[in-house]
Structure 1
Amino acid sequence: MIDFRLTINSAKTFDFDNPSSLDDDTYKTITGLSRDNFHDVRGHLTTMNNSNVRSVRVALAVFLTKLRLGFSNRVLACLFHLKSKRTVSRIFHQVREALMKYFVPLNLGFQHITRDVVLNYHQTVIATELLTNEPDQIVLIADGTYLYCQKSSNNEFQRRTYSNHKHRHLIKPMIITASNGYILSVLGPFFANSSNNDAAILKHCLLNNEQQILNWLRDDDILVLDRGFRDVVNTLTRLRLQVAMPGFLHNQKQFSPDEANRTRFVTKTRWVVESVNGKIKNWKFFAQTLQNTSLPFAGNCLDIVCALINKYYCPAIANIQDGQEIAAQMREMWKAENALEQHLRELDQGETLRWSKYNAAMCLFPSLTEDDVRNLTFGSYQIKMAKSYIVDHLQQSDINEEQLEFVVELCGEHDDLVRARFQSRHSNRKKYIATVRFNEKNEQPITGWFCTCSVGGREVGMCSHITALLWHIGVERAMVPTSTHPLSASKSLTAIDDSMKFSDDEYNSDNDINDLRGTIGTANATNDTELDW
């Protein structure tokens, strides 16, 4: 009996000392790494030894579990049967220091990789075709990410970590990746006040030659940036670096076709850095609000996670040769004007077009496949967004109140035109008209498209509004789904209450309020009487 109790008491919730006690999926769930990868990382902890408190494998498991699942030290002490949260803290810092010394320098930073390796193994054909003019130009993508932290009792620290953009306290690391999503460097983290915007951070890193970045870069290398970096463009130009950035409207409602096409070149390349940010936030330590006591080593933890992603995770684009045909097509259409926009303008000048509303199910439209739409959009993001626009556009049928319909508008004078008005997902006051021209006799039945949104005039791909119209009437054949997933976001609309709104004119005096109170009181008294009776 005594031996049995000792066995039960000594049993561990997670036994990482025995490599075969946990399967591969369990390793990935708890530590973020497979069993073999975990063992490989263990091999880099050469300066750590087993102790009476923990083995090196358990120490590594504690460290990775905290980063992966975001558990507190107290919870980790319970799970791994350690003495106290202080023991967990000591273990955490021991592993962190060892990984920063022996693992991170091999897998992260400009000094761990050469330009030739980036060009040959991490630069995609799409980035090369769309953005470069010389064979040795490297395309890098930079973006700041956010790590939320607590509000500090130190007033200066509180001011410098408050972001007017996010309206929260946070710190900002700067991520620099290759065009396939391989992380070259993590700079910072930096404060979040107005003097630490993305442009200022990148300028600081370049002019101070952080991590010898200027020694690594060459003239005419290309940095893909978002619009938040606009104030650093002149500095980059003086450093003989090229910038690829989405266009600016400059008080206009819509980009010109040329500017919209150029912007699509940038977004086609830049999305990988957002994928990297998503991978980082999959480690819950960074997705939740950081305790201020952990901020001094948050940068080290981020470096370690990015090094692990580089070493053991597949990059956002696994095959850098994919997309060569797509890039060539996009390049050919770069200078193309939007033919349908010009056609509609000519029609408006010559005659008055009459548009009538119909249920999309009554519209004669060529059948399309998912691949057809994907070839037109040059990507999958627009298709993903289109499905949300379709759901938002559905409305109650005038014929059958129990059914939903997708309303389109057909032109009375030209039967090859169809359009739909989509509500903006950002503003209740804005609607965009997506128009499509088609010819069922053509091998490619979609002959033109135009939308009134800011990028609706481009020929290189199309916006999400046009994609939504094509997807619903071309791919789904105007079929409205009759059931939704139990966890669908649309279920939340009925699960959450909306407060009633009373007009100020309806009850504009104390007498009206008293009358309302009297009415409610009378109703309650009547109900009580009925119940008593």
Structure 2
Amino acid sequence: MKCGLSNKILSTIFNITKSSIRRAIHSARQALCDIIVPAHLGFEHVTREEIIQKHTRKLAQDLLAESNDQAILVLDGTYIYINKSNNFQFQRRSFSMHKHRPLVKPMIIVSTTGYFVSVLGPYFADSKNNDASILKHILNNNIQEIKSWIDPSDICVVDRGFRDAIELMKELGIQAEMPAFMKRTEKQMTTDDANASRFVTKVRWVVEAANARIKRWKYLSHVLPTNQVPYIGDYVSIICALCNKYLPPINQTQELDSTLASQMRDRLSGNLCLQDFVEEHDLARRSVAHWTTTESLTDFPKLSETILRILTLGTYQLKLSSSYVQEYISGTCDFHLHKEIPGLLRVRLQSRHIASKSYLVWLKYDEDHVIAWYCKCRAGARTVGTCSHVAAVIWYLGMAVHTAETSFGVKDWGEYLEDASANPESIDSSDSEESIVEE
């Protein structure tokens, strides 16, 4: 499972037949399922009190829980890819319209430290087996006595794919925490919705890291043949049990968790003045009457990496900053200072996904601090942390501009490729007309 080697390679390494390899794998899998898995995975192997006391991060409790006796679980489905089947019915039911390929879906349930509480399934991948349907099936059928394990007021942190199961969770008394949706008429999340979503994502990321830990076992990162489908659930359970037994937690309680949670709560109502000012004075207009282009800001505060992390409340946005700034260095972004209001900066940044879309970012600063920010992207009204566009501008002006680097490790591999849209050959219209007539 760790190396993902085929039976043929294993038989060559150990100098035994493939049938002997198959028998050895079957015996080992059966032994691990009988001994290791029940002791280190499943709702029966651990109590709520143990999850609360040993496997719950203080930051998650401070952000989401009202008391210290609430268990917090994070749920998400992961994907194990398989080959197409000759059984057309199974092929249809295992084909995911989301990933556009056949797969099966185990449901992963972890604590806020990344401890695997349980693995359920695997399930089909068709439209009838989305994340919400799977969770409804688990709760309605009380799989692994989950209703006896979970107490009313416990918290389940989920993504938007579980939205259809929220009502059932509320009926059972389970508190569901999910990132907010934008209304159909909205182009941007409200500040309250954006901040509430940041509270959820600050906790929910651990299940993605747990899924990545599973895929480090190369057997499950491969596309599996269909004859392995009966054993996929066993292999996933074995790997999760081994991770619980031998690997350290993904995310542990830290000394500054309480301070970080307090900072996030304090920012719930901050920075609104800049958004209101931008909208009141219509500063999103393309008019340049009030703005002047600048290439350097000598009065922008110099920031350390610690201060940047405090502003962004995470590292994900900072990891993307160098890529966003590279667009500015390439000459596709502009920095503008307001002519009348000191310390008010406007930046237009290119979208990372859509070539025809860009976002306006506003920053208010003085010589020592970044005071406020606002961006026109979907999450740009967030005051708890920043969006990636705001983080990129602050990172560049506050720290990166003071270094001698110009590429920041972002390599343009396009220079090794040909571009069919560049330098089109000129065509003589008269020659073209003559050729058409001759034909």
Quote the offset at 1:336 in angstroms: 4.0
Q: Which amino acid aligns with 1:341?
A: Q
What pairs with 1:511-522 in structure 2 (closer than 5 Å)?
Answer: 511=432, 514=435
- Is 2:355 aligned against 1:428? yes
Quote the offset at 1:219 in angstroms: 0.2
What pairs with 1:163-202 in structure 2 (closer than 5 Å)?
Answer: 163-202=96-135
Evaluate the alpha carbon distance shift between residue 498 and residue 210 of structure 1 in structure 2; reply closer, same or farther with a 3 A threshold. Answer: farther
Quote the offset at 1:319 in angstroms: 3.1
Q: Which amino acid aligns with 1:354?
A: H
Could you tell me how far apart the structure 2 residues matched to 1:384 and 1:418 are?
22
Evaluate the alpha carbon distance shift between residue 245 and residue 184 of structure 1 in structure 2; reply closer, same or farther with a 3 A threshold. Answer: same
2:8 touches 2:18 (CA, 8 Å); kept in 1? yes
Could you tell me how far apart the structure 1 residues matched to 2:180 and 2:35 are?
43
Evaluate the alpha carbon distance shift between residue 321 and residue 106 of structure 1 in structure 2; reply closer, same or farther with a 3 A threshold. Answer: farther
- The one-character-per-residue Cα deviations of 1:419-470 (angstroms, maximum 9, x if unpaired) are 2211112222221111110011x5xx11100000111111111111000001
CA RMSD, aligned part only? 2.6
Could you tell me how far apart the structure 1 residues matched to 2:313 and 2:303 are?
15
What pairs with 1:226-375 in structure 2 (closer than 5 Å)?
Answer: 226-251=159-184, 252-319=186-253, 322-336=256-270, 338-348=272-282, 354-359=290-295, 361-375=296-310
- The one-character-per-residue Cα deviations of 1:184-217 (angstroms, maximum 9, x if unpaired) are 0111111100001010011111111111111100
- Is 2:366 aligned against 1:439? yes
Query: Which residue in the other structure is 1:463 paired with?
Result: 387
Could you tell me how far apart the structure 2 residues matched to 1:484 and 1:78 are?
46
Q: 1:128 aligns with which of 49, 55, 61?
A: 61
Could you tell me how far apart the structure 2 residues matched to 1:282 and 1:509 are?
62
1:159 touches 1:193 (CA, 8 Å); kept in 2? yes
Quote the offset at 1:390 in angstroms: 1.5
- Count of aligned residue pairs for this structure pair: 433
- The one-character-per-residue Cα deviations of 1:390-417 (angstroms, maximum 9, x if unpaired) are 2233215xxxxxxxx9741211222311
- The one-character-per-residue Cα deviations of 1:66-98 (angstroms, maximum 9, x if unpaired) are x111111101111222x2222211111110000
Quote the offset at 1:135 in angstroms: 2.6
Quote the offset at 1:482 in angstroms: 4.1
Could you tell me how far apart the structure 2 residues matched to 1:496 and 1:84 are?
47
Q: Residue 413 of structure 2: SS of its match in structure 1? A: helix
Evaluate the alpha carbon distance shift between residue 509 and residue 363 of structure 1 in structure 2; reply closer, same or farther with a 3 A threshold. Answer: farther
Q: Percent identity?
A: 39
2:188 touches 2:376 (CA, 8 Å); kept in 1? yes
What pairs with 1:201-240 in structure 2 (closer than 5 Å)?
Answer: 201-240=134-173
1:280 touches 1:305 (CA, 8 Å); kept in 2? yes
Query: Which residue in the other structure is 2:325 paired with?
Result: 390
TM-score (norm. length: structure 1) = 0.77
Q: Residue 68 of structure 1: SS of its match in structure 2? A: coil
Q: 2:413 aligns with which of 484, 489, 492?
A: 492
Q: Residue 477 of structure 1: SS of its match in structure 2? A: helix
Unaligned runs of 5+ in 1: 1-66, 397-404, 519-533
- Is 2:22 aligned against 1:94? no
Q: Residue 364 of structure 1: SS of its match in structure 2? A: coil
Q: Which amino acid aligns with 1:416?
A: G
Q: Which amino acid aligns with 1:424?
A: S
Q: Which amino acid aligns with 1:495?
A: Y
Could you tell me how far apart the structure 2 residues matched to 1:508 and 1:150 are?
52
Quote the offset at 1:477 in angstroms: 2.2
- The one-character-per-residue Cα deviations of 1:493-514 (angstroms, maximum 9, x if unpaired) are 22333334799x9799994695
1:417 touches 1:438 (CA, 8 Å); kept in 2? yes
Unaligned runs of 5+ in 2: none
Q: Which amino acid aligns with 2:360?
A: I
1:109 touches 1:211 (CA, 8 Å); kept in 2? yes
Evaluate the alpha carbon distance shift between residue 356 and residue 282 of structure 1 in structure 2; reply closer, same or farther with a 3 A threshold. Answer: same
Q: Which amino acid aligns with 1:143?
A: D
Q: 2:314 aligns with which of 363, 373, 379?
A: 379
Could you tell me how far apart the structure 1 residues matched to 2:316 and 2:300 are?
24
Could you tell me how far apart the structure 2 residues matched to 1:140 and 1:464 are?
27
Evaluate the alpha carbon distance shift between residue 198 and residue 506 of structure 1 in structure 2; reply closer, same or farther with a 3 A threshold. Answer: farther
Q: Residue 434 of structure 1: SS of its match in structure 2? A: strand
Could you tell me how far apart the structure 2 residues matched to 1:459 and 1:130 are?
15
Could you tell me how far apart the structure 2 residues matched to 1:496 and 1:329 are?
47
1:333 touches 1:459 (CA, 8 Å); kept in 2? yes
TM-score (norm. length: structure 2) = 0.92
Query: Which residue in the other structure is 1:452 paired with?
Result: 376
- Is 2:8 aligned against 1:74? yes
Evaluate the alpha carbon distance shift between residue 478 and residue 337 of structure 1 in structure 2; reply closer, same or farther with a 3 A threshold. Answer: closer
Evaluate the alpha carbon distance shift between residue 322 and residue 292 of structure 1 in structure 2; reply closer, same or farther with a 3 A threshold. Answer: farther
1:181 touches 1:273 (CA, 8 Å); kept in 2? yes
